[in-house]
């Protein structure tokens, strides 16, 4: 069974705007899982690369499956891959590439290469603007530097797995960007999230999983997949006093608009 308890949907409403289906954790189950998800309510998936090799794999998934779209980019934790921005430019010309991502700053794992992280991030934001593509941004413990680069170049896009304050969410909204919400909203220690979600207009929210990571409660720590997005939508619905399917419908329109799906 692919969906937890009674979460099975009768319509294909789900768009997972952030996944990593090229990840080796899916080896051996990937194709079967993707086919099963698509049969059971997952209408579209954007799968994000983290470097050049990952981008090749991501694009071939998008070629194999109509309902899968790709984002290509260099993740701040993958700078040792030596993938160049020119390679990303070449890969981004693929017809199934809908965004530049996953890109951004991560000072949680290491902050002794801040200058290089900022340089690689900024040049990919510039590339996205040049190609008229949205960015999918990762920001971990790097809120002010992330915001500075976004304010300077004003790309369209999403701040994924949002972990900032309400004030930061409002800054992102002011820039015209979207807020990506994933399984973390269901975690018991996600105290700031209800406040953030209440402060974001519903037409700026996107649903995502970041699978295979960040499975929502009660599956925290397990292999995550796009079907678990139902639990994230349910939690947002509770916070906003809306129905879960309303959250699916509204965020689906947002995803279609931003990524031109
Ligand atoms: Zn990710």
Residue 62 buriedness (CB in 10 A; 0-12 / 13-18 / 19+) = buried
**CA 49 – CA 94 distance, rounded (Å):** 13
* CATH, range 14-259: 3.20.20.140
- Segments making up each domain of the chain, as ranges: 14-259
pLDDT of residue 1: 37
Tokens of 191: 């105290």
pLDDT of residue 191: 86
Q: How far does the centroid of ligand 1 lie from the alpha carbon of residue 19, in Å?
A: 6
CB 35 within 8 A of CB 8: no
Q: How far does the centroid of ligand 1 lie from the alpha carbon of residue 130, in Å?
A: 23
- Whole-model pTM over 0.75: yes
DSSP designation for 62? H
Q: How far does the centroid of ligand 1 lie from the alpha carbon of residue 174, in Å?
A: 23
Sign of CA dihedral 51, 52, 57, 60: positive
Q: How far does the centroid of ligand 1 lie from the alpha carbon of residue 248, in Å?
A: 20
Nearest-CA neighbor of 185 among 166, 159, 165, 162?
Answer: 162
Q: pLDDT tens across 156-208, in order?
A: 999 999 988 899 999 999 999 999 999 999 998 888 899 999 999 999 999 99
Taking each helix axis from N to C end, the angle separating 166-174 and 143-153, rounded to the nearest 10 degrees, works out to 10
Q: How far does the centroid of ligand 1 lie from the alpha carbon of residue 137, in Å?
A: 9
**CA 225 – CA 212 distance, rounded (Å):** 6
Q: How far does the centroid of ligand 1 lie from the alpha carbon of residue 20, in Å?
A: 6
Query: Residue 37: pLDDT above 50?
Result: yes
pLDDT of residue 11: 57
């Amino acid at each position: 069974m692919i969906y937890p308890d009674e979460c099975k949907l009768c319509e294909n409403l789900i768009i997972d705007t952030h996944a990593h289906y090229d990840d080796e954790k899916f080896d051996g189950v990937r194709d079967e899982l993707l086919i099963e998800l698509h049969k059971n309510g997952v209408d579209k998936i954007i799968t994000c690369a983290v470097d050049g090799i990952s981008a090749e794999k991501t694009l071939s998934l998008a070629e194999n499956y109509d309902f899968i779209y790709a984002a290509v980019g260099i993740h701040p934790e993958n700078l040792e891959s030596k993938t160049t921005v020119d390679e990303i430019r070449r890969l981004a010309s693929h017809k199934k590439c809908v965004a530049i991502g996953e890109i951004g700053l991560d000072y949680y794992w290491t902050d002794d290469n801040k200058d290089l992280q900022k340089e690689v991030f900024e040049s990919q934001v510039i590339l996205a603007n040049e190609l008229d593509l949205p960015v999918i941004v990762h920001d971990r413990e790097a809120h002010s530097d992330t915001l500075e680069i976004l304010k300077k170049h004003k790309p369209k896009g999403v701040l994924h797995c949002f972990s900032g304050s309400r004030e930061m969410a409002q800054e992102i909204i002011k820039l015209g960007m979207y807020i990506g919400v994933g399984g973390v909203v269901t975690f018991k220690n996600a105290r700031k999230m209800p406040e953030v979600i209440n402060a974001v207009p519903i037409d700026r929210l996107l649903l995502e999983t970041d699978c295979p990571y960040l499975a929502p409660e009660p599956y925290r720590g397990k292999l995550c997949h796009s079907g678990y997005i139902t639990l994230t939508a349910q939690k947002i619905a509770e916070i906003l006093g809306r129905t879960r399917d309303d959250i699916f419908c509204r965020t689906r329109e947002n995803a279609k608009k931003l990524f031109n799906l």
